[in-house]
Structure 1
Amino acid sequence: MAAVKQRPGARKDVSGTSHLLDNKSTGSTTTATTAEKSYPHPVKKSSLASWTFFLLFLTLLATISYTRHYALPTPVTQDRDPVTGKLQFSEANVLKLTEHLAGDIGLRLIGTEAVDETERYLMREIETLREQAQIEAAKGAGGEVGVPNFDVWVQVDDGSHRFDFMSKVVMKMYNNMTNIIVRLSCGPECDQNAILLNAHYDTTLGSPGAADDALGVGVQMELIRILSQQPALKKNSIIFLFNGGEESLQDASHSFITKHELKDNVKAVINLEACGTTGPEILFQANSRPMIDAYKRVPYPHGTVVANDLFATGIILSDTDFRQFVDHGNLTGLDMAVYTNSYLYHSHLDLNEFMSPGLPQHMGENTLALVQYLGEEVDLSGKPFERTSEVVFFDVLGFFFVAYSLKTAILVHLAIGALALITLSMGASRPTIKSVLSVLLSFLAALAAPNLVALVLVQVLGKPMQWFTHEWLPLALFGPTSAAAMFGVQYLFHDNKASNSANELSTFSGIQFFFSVAMGSATYAGLASSYLVALYALCYSIALIYNRQWIQRGQHTPQQQHVNELHSVDFSTYLLASIIPTTYFVYTGFSLLDFMVPLAGRIGVDAPADHIVAVIAGLFTMCACPPLLAYVHRFGQSTLRRVISILILLQLAILWLSLTFSQPYDKMHPKRIFAQHLRNLTSGETLVYVAHADPGPIYHNYVQGLEQLFDTKALLKHGNENPGDWNAIYPFSQFLDSYVLDTTPYIRAQTTNTTIATSPTPLTDFIQDAPNLVAENVSFDPKTGIRKLTILCTHPDYILTVISFDAQLTRWSLSSGIPSQEPFHYVIRNAGGYRTDGWRLDLEYKAPNGAEDKLRVEITSMETEGFDWRVEKERELVGSGDVGVMRKLVKATPDFIALTYFSTVASVHDL
């Protein structure tokens, strides 16, 4: 064998490529051709068998991840353990409550009679539990400690707060907002320090709210049953807040944390929410180390700081009561929510029958463990828990929970970085500039290539949202292209002058180098989520050291050993490198898909939903098993070319199947459409607005059907040009483009009242008891140019009023400060409890045109009828008979559409 002469201090492989780091000479080497011909790698005898085994191994890891990700405990149906007789959490009790709220009562929109019925029902259940606790106390169930004191409050209050959401400033007012509060306490010594549990019993438009949030209400009620019949927790009291106004933009939680007598006793909060109906609940917000540590005690942990960091960016267009407790109570705590199968979130399908068995048990046992630990073990008498985002936390396949500080993470990451340097110094890692660049470009290609598929689907074929019906479908629709692109980069960077083994090892080393640098960058940026890339860097460093040691153990002939020491990656190294990162990333990646894919169906008509999902699919493809980038070099460039060709053919076959046989929506994965019957008292128009919440198809066909139904032509109106059209659901209205149908001719044609049919009088004149605005206490100061007035609103039998106006305010009666000292467009939403029929607002503003410079105010009010799909009731014009505009629109809606609909009246007043 001929020796290759090298200059001192530089290590080269057989192709002569310099490595990024080496501090010793190698001596003699062997040419690539001779090495490959004389000493073929044992595993390379059958590339098909090798690929098959590796892919089966990865499939096994993915199956384990999938199984663990969706694992739920066995539901419990009995109140007590039949063997020990101890009280236990019963899913059956929770489902009984959720079925009554969602199935019997149904939609519980704030201000309606259904909410009043819900409050009376909850009070009856609470009183029953209190009676049971008294019976157990008489039996001596609590032993020497005794069962806890059982106190109940009903809070009804007015208030206001600022609610910035979706980049909009929203001012909130509320009247007669109701909270039901239960406290379990060991006595006066426990009363001063409390853990707050929160769940809301109201629902949003169009949804019976079995999971969101009757589930949370049921879990709290079951916890009261258990905790009130056993010895009292000895350190801290537990407060259960059943709040009646979360969907109205968190009014009830604001009322409690700013006004209730117990607010100063609360030291931390656990919020129970839902934006899905299946799978485990996830810990997606946490803001203090003690509360995160408390979560270690739950039996079924599921949560990661990645979700915490993602939520903090504001990308997720959602929010919970947790915000009010943090902003106005300066509390720390845990925000837990059901999130899987979010297709049914805020839709008519949020019913008991679609909640997965074991979900209430999962949430219940986790919350019970938290409450018992915090109430029994944690000292809350000192200063409040310090709020921090510098905590790394994650669960390990649902088996246990890990949490440590960001400072500890930095030390760990420094150690991992040092380990990476050791692999370089000992020759176990042999990255080149070329291999590192190939990994970086492969990563970018994996993200970019799926966007080309999305571009073709949307712009060329006009087929957006083809991936929507299943959370995993984006991986099939975009994954092959993503994989082909990143392997294509490797094909271009494959060095034919070097051995396959040299390409293999340098690329594997480039992967390790890439993730080590990514770890350092993420750590430097202060991201707690950096633990994820640190996991990759650690495992690949360990794998490379193992690979080096394995080869040096003399598994091959001395000649083979020398060749392999420089260039080879043993097959078992890939298994070792993949087992932890692949299993964990796929486990975590399912959470990302579960949340983001359904969310794309409600992020607005202008959002590039296909491209967002394409990027997520590319990220998943790349990060599921990065060592594949090295593995594809194992059998040479010709095999690499065949792999790319197979992936391209697979992608074309999947696209053909999708375009030929699949539809983007079905009954259980519906398209979201909003419909509003607006009667404008000022213009006299009666209009139906129809809008959708994603850029997908079918919508226009649906509108064409409505045009035929109402015998009129629809007019397209863009949301950004007509911001007040959907004030009833502001600020979500900014995402909606509408088709508007004039229903006046239809109503005149359908009414049995000939006077209305033939009268030139605007139909809105036949509306009685419409909301009205009146100006009182009006005054003007000519010296300051300030005009003062009190706006009095009366809205009998209407709910959720919204006013908007443009003014340069100087003062008002709301508790929040004025958001701008300059002229500003104000939107103020008001929500009221049952039988609330009015409100008042004091304003002062600059009136440059003097005393007669009146304030022009537009008011939109929602009717108390016409938004419940189960009720054949709709408010008609007085004397018009049964026309049923919205009822007929609903009946014309196919079952693959989730329709949110309501009726409103609007008017403009110069006050």
Structure 2
Amino acid sequence: MKQRVKTDTSVRNRLRRFPEDDVLLLNYNDKYDKHRRKSSNLPIPSAYMMFLLILIVAVFMAVIVIEKKLPPGLKISEEELYPNRFIAERAMVNLINLTKFGPRVAGSYENEVLAVKYLVDEIKNVIAKSNKNLHFIEYNVQRSSGAFPLHFLDGMTNVYRDVQNVVVKVSPIKGSNSSLLLNCHFDTVTDSPGASDDGAACAVMLELLRIFSQSNIPLRHNIILLFNGAEENIMQASHGFITQHKWAKEVKAFINLEACGAGGREMLFQANSKNPWILEIYSKNAPYPYGSSLAQEIFESGLIPGDTDYRIFRDFGNVSGLDFVWSKNGYVYHTLFDDVYQVPVGSLQRTGDNIQALVLGIVNGHQLSDMSLYSSGGLVYFDFLGAFVVHWSEFIANIINASVLLLSLYSIYQNMLLASNEISQSRYIKLLLGSAFTHFITWILVLIVVLLIGISLTLLGRTMSWFTRPFWLLFLYVGPTICVAFSTVLFASRKYQKNIKSPWTKFQLYYDGNLLIFNFALLVGIIFRIRSAFIPLIWVIFPTVCNLLQGPIFKTNRDWKWLVYQMLALSLPFIQSFYLTLGAFYLFIPIMGRSGAGNNSELMIAAMIGLIFVGLFSYLTPFITLIRNPERVFSLLIGMFLISISLLILTPLGFPYSGDPNSPSPQRFMIVNTNRTYYDLSGNVRGGDTGYWVVDLDINSPNTVNNFVPEMKNAKPVDLDCELELYCGLPYLLPVRHFIWKTHWIPGPAPNLPIPTTFDYNKIDLENDIIRYQINVTGPDHICVMISPLPNIDLLEWSLVDGQPLASGELWKGRPTYFIYYAYVANPVPLTFDIDFKVPKKYNILKPVMDIAVTSHYLHGKNQRSNIFSEFLQQFPQWTAITAWTASYASYRV
């Protein structure tokens, strides 16, 4: 090399003797500089980058292993070795006994008689063995009736009669006026054994009741355990308890246990910000903490179509608390696959240990005595790899965020000073802003590319290949995301920073440019008080510290040690962010199987993957400017993508679903054998038919089963029905038109409707242009009523609840609609109410005022399905999960 440089110097000296060869000299220098940049100034071989990518995959695998780790379940035989410990085996026995009754729909014999009897018998056994010297235990079975407006899904008014709760209170002998409420629900949806949702939580609570009642340590406050029997009836039983039960007024805090998946780790995904001390107790006492305010903001945003009793206790009881949910293996949620075989014993042990420690920490503390002394503002919280919880108030969060933001800007300014011997400060600022803009363009390009891939797969009919095998996402979308990010930064660095001699300066520009992007995100979090702003915070604080310390540590030297330093500085935010991402994937991927056929789940997941991973790798992309042969990296990524696409298109590996009993990921259908009748103004039938209403719950429905179910080839969209009839002339059980709107109708046999559904009304002309209807509806134990006033007519009030009736978010013909959900669980009780309308002056009382539809639903028992209906359902393949019942729909203009 020394000889080569010497020769090159002599050549340049010789060329300078001939001015006419200036052009030749410039050309030579250009070639020489390009060669020099390739050979000496780019210090990282491409193999290093490939090794780094492999290392990242290894980190991914390590985080997955950490996330899956569950404690061993303790056995009954080990009870003497672990006194006062939660015994998972006993909880599993309780779960087996509870689920053996099968689906427990509110109103069914299985729910109202068998499940209640089992719970009462177990409670009596616990009381018989309790430590009566320290604890006083009492229980009762509550029946309640009521009504309440609920901003759930499209919005509804919920009416219930005689729903049941089994309630137990464990009190210290000396007594207390303050109680902690612990809640689960033992009812289920149609056709599901409900092992995880929510039988497992009730099994955990029974075991906790045993521990609390036999403990030799006195309690400071009361523990109320609520086994509620109508949560799947849209949270009716919890409303009955918190508004009517004799113990409700002494409840000062609550813990709600729920599930949208089977097993895994129970996640804290909602925490009331008024009393952060509850979270502090959780973080100090729970041996396996898991949760974040990010999950809470996702849930509160409405992206997840669901709700829990947490809302009822908070809104109608004005009580603070924590909401825990199992979210892993959401494939079985609300299906026949949700049995005891899907619930790991380790999950029961983990949940039991955490909730036991949390409950005892709360009831033995002093905060319940006077909650007002410990109230404060909002709360930011997250756990680090399940080891501990980081939490602070929104006020403290704003101080931390603002301080880190200013410190980060200073670190960028410091880097600008260090580069001033090569680049002027004004030019450095321009290049820095250009680098930030390049990162911004990268996010847009990544989104475009992944969406194009998703659109291509949709057109090829190969959507949701990742549903059963989520690892395909790594090849389909993560690889292209990295490739686009690398290529964008590499192109920009070669085109716009080609005159910068030092590749390290280029790297620092793109590194700090990305830091500016996260600074902006952090600033947005501060302005709009976003609690999940802790994510950009960790992506700002660690690179900032890295910037501030690299000068004193390395001065001007840049070598492999400096690279290791950079990677170590980024490791913690990278690992924590992937840890949060993994939890989101466990939640969202199964949800794509029930998000409705009107939503393209392929595009939704593609966008989610692209945006998350371009952020995860954003600090890695500047390293491509230091690679000698980046083409090898691109070849690897593109090759992996092409191979994966070929396998998914040409082999069965791309089939989305699985009926494996040990690990099911079924395609879901809701099918309702329906009788539809439309009446005119005179009360005569103007139309109607019978058949199967097929509710398509994912993008592939319903064509996937055509070869198994010949009738599905006759399925027709219901678009025209939605224009002509209220709620599409279909028996919606819940107001879900905003996301379940793409459905089909198959002409078929008439359903068996043994209980007649009647609609009667009396019309009264009141003063001040008000017309009152006295409504009476009878039918089976689940009934829905939809109302839409005619143009220029307003619905003022009704006797169901006080105040202005809650309108549904669903408009029909530009008119508001109102949805009433009604259920009784004991003796048949008609739905009766008065409803007042404001009409134009001198309105003829003989004219109609509203369109009204009444639906009846047979969700359980012998009337749920006829023999013909059952034969139709038996044709579906084993990799499907069908929720099916019988219903009627009748509409009137009155």
Please tell me the TM-score bracket, short chain as reference.
Answer: 0.7 to 0.9
Return 319-328 or 536-545, whichever deviates more.
536-545
Equivalent residue letter for 1:860: T
**Which ranges in structure 2 are unaligned for 5 or more consecutive residues?**
1-31, 420-427, 678-684, 808-813
C-alpha distance in structure 2 between counterparts of 1:538 and 1:509, whole Å:
12
C-alpha distance in structure 1 between counterparts of 2:148 and 2:788, whole Å:
19
Q: 2:631 aligns with which of 627, 641, 654?
A: 641
Equivalent residue letter for 2:693: Y
Match in the other structure for 1:269: 254
Matches within 5 A, 1:249-268: 249-268=234-253
SS in 1 for 2:415: coil
Match in the other structure for 1:838: 830
Match in the other structure for 1:481: 480
Match in the other structure for 2:341: 353
C-alpha distance in structure 2 between counterparts of 1:695 and 1:589, whole Å:
24
Q: 2:105 aligns with which of 91, 98, 109?
A: 109
Match in the other structure for 1:585: 577
SS in 2 for 1:570: helix
Matches within 5 A, 1:736-747: 736-744=741-749
Match in the other structure for 1:806: 788
C-alpha distance in structure 2 between counterparts of 1:854 and 1:418, whole Å:
62
Q: 1:693 aligns with which of 691, 697, 700?
A: 697
SS in 2 for 1:604: coil
Q: Is the 8 A contact 2:79 2:87 kept in 1?
A: no
Q: Is the 8 A contact 1:491 1:641 kept in 2?
A: no
Q: Is the 8 A contact 1:148 1:232 kept in 2?
A: no
Q: Is residue 211 of structure 2 the alignment partner of residue 226 of structure 1?
A: yes
Residues 358 and 790 (structure 1), Cα distance of their counterparts in 2 relative to 1, 3 Å cut:
same
Q: 1:731 aligns with which of 732, 735, 738?
A: 735
Instruction: Please give the per-residue CA displacement for 1:777-815, whole angstroms capped at 9, x wherever unaligned.
Output: x462364343434333332xx221112233343332212
C-alpha distance in structure 2 between counterparts of 1:806 and 1:174, whole Å:
22
Residues 625 and 389 (structure 1), Cα distance of their counterparts in 2 relative to 1, 3 Å cut:
farther
Match in the other structure for 1:549: 552
C-alpha distance in structure 2 between counterparts of 1:53 and 1:864, whole Å:
57
Q: Is residue 616 of structure 2 the alignment partner of residue 624 of structure 1?
A: yes
Q: Give the C-alpha shift of residue 380 in structure 1.
A: 1.6
Q: Is residue 74 of structure 2 the alignment partner of residue 76 of structure 1?
A: yes
Q: Is residue 890 of structure 2 the alignment partner of residue 902 of structure 1?
A: no
Q: Give the C-alpha shift of residue 187 in structure 1.
A: 4.0
Q: Give the C-alpha shift of residue 898 in structure 1.
A: 1.3
Equivalent residue letter for 1:669: S
Equivalent residue letter for 2:853: E
SS in 2 for 1:454: helix
Equivalent residue letter for 1:894: P
Matches within 5 A, 1:408-427: 408-427=396-415
Residues 793 and 65 (structure 1), Cα distance of their counterparts in 2 relative to 1, 3 Å cut:
same
**Which ranges in structure 1 are unaligned for 5 or more consecutive residues?**
1-30, 138-145, 553-560, 745-762, 867-872, 877-882
Match in the other structure for 1:862: 857
C-alpha distance in structure 2 between counterparts of 1:614 and 1:57, whole Å:
24
What is the aligned residue count?
Answer: 813
Q: Is the 8 A contact 1:782 1:850 kept in 2?
A: no
TM-score (norm: length of structure 1): 0.84
Matches within 5 A, 1:10-409: 44=44, 46-48=45-47, 50-78=48-76, 81-83=79-81, 86-102=83-99, 104-116=100-112, 117-133=114-130, 136-137=131-132, 146-166=133-153, 168-187=154-173, 189-190=175-176, 192-231=177-216, 233-288=218-273, 289-296=276-283, 297-384=285-372, 390-409=378-397
Match in the other structure for 2:17: none
Instruction: Please give the per-residue CA displacement for 1:619-665, whole angstroms capped at 9, x wherever unaligned.
Output: 332233333211111124xx233323332222121111112222122
Q: Is the 8 A contact 2:155 2:806 kept in 1?
A: no
Q: Is the 8 A contact 1:707 1:741 kept in 2?
A: no
Q: Give the C-alpha shift of residue 689 in structure 1.
A: 1.3
Return 225-234 or 885-894, whichever deviates more.
225-234
Match in the other structure for 1:669: 665
C-alpha distance in structure 2 between counterparts of 1:37 and 1:909, whole Å:
80
Return 66-75 or 506-515, whichever deviates more.
506-515
Instruction: Please give the per-residue CA displacement for 1:231-262, whole angstroms capped at 9, x wherever unaligned.
Output: 46533211111111111111111111111111
Q: Give the C-alpha shift of residue 714 in structure 1.
A: 3.4
Matches within 5 A, 1:703-718: 703=706, 706-708=709-711, 713-718=714-719
Q: Give the C-alpha shift of residue 509 in structure 1.
A: 2.3
C-alpha distance in structure 1 between counterparts of 2:771 and 2:513, whole Å:
70
Matches within 5 A, 1:419-438: 419-427=407-415, 432-438=432-438
Q: Is the 8 A contact 1:175 1:836 kept in 2?
A: no
Equivalent residue letter for 2:616: A
Q: Is residue 528 of structure 2 the alignment partner of residue 510 of structure 1?
A: no
Q: Is the 8 A contact 1:665 1:896 kept in 2?
A: yes
Q: Is the 8 A contact 1:475 1:621 kept in 2?
A: no
Q: Is the 8 A contact 2:258 2:323 kept in 1?
A: yes
Q: Is the 8 A contact 1:79 1:90 kept in 2?
A: no
Q: Is the 8 A contact 2:235 2:309 kept in 1?
A: yes
Q: Give the C-alpha shift of residue 124 in structure 1.
A: 0.9
Q: 2:648 aligns with which of 652, 658, 665?
A: 658
C-alpha distance in structure 1 between counterparts of 2:532 and 2:509, whole Å:
28
Q: Is the 8 A contact 1:413 1:534 kept in 2?
A: yes
Q: Is the 8 A contact 1:605 1:737 kept in 2?
A: yes
SS in 2 for 1:95: helix
Match in the other structure for 1:749: none
Residues 386 and 652 (structure 1), Cα distance of their counterparts in 2 relative to 1, 3 Å cut:
farther
Instruction: Please give the per-residue CA displacement for 1:377-423, whole angstroms capped at 9, x wherever unaligned.
Output: 13222244877772111111111111111222222223323432442
Q: Is the 8 A contact 1:79 1:87 kept in 2?
A: no
C-alpha distance in structure 2 between counterparts of 1:254 and 1:520, whole Å:
40
Match in the other structure for 1:886: 869
Q: 2:498 aligns with which of 496, 499, 504?
A: 496
Q: Give the C-alpha shift of residue 856 in structure 1.
A: 5.5
Instruction: Please give the per-residue CA displacement for 1:588-643, whole angstroms capped at 9, x wherever unaligned.
Output: 1101111111112211222232222112211332233333211111124xx23332
C-alpha distance in structure 2 between counterparts of 1:816 and 1:362, whole Å:
43
C-alpha distance in structure 2 between counterparts of 1:200 and 1:634, whole Å:
58
What do you get for the CA RMSD once the two structures are aligned? 2.9
SS in 2 for 1:496: coil
TM-score (norm: length of structure 2): 0.85
Match in the other structure for 2:523: 520
Residues 154 and 246 (structure 1), Cα distance of their counterparts in 2 relative to 1, 3 Å cut:
same
Return 325-334 or 650-659, whichever deviates more.
650-659
Q: Is residue 602 of structure 2 the alignment partner of residue 607 of structure 1?
A: no
Residues 875 and 321 (structure 1), Cα distance of their counterparts in 2 relative to 1, 3 Å cut:
closer
C-alpha distance in structure 2 between counterparts of 1:205 and 1:73, whole Å:
32
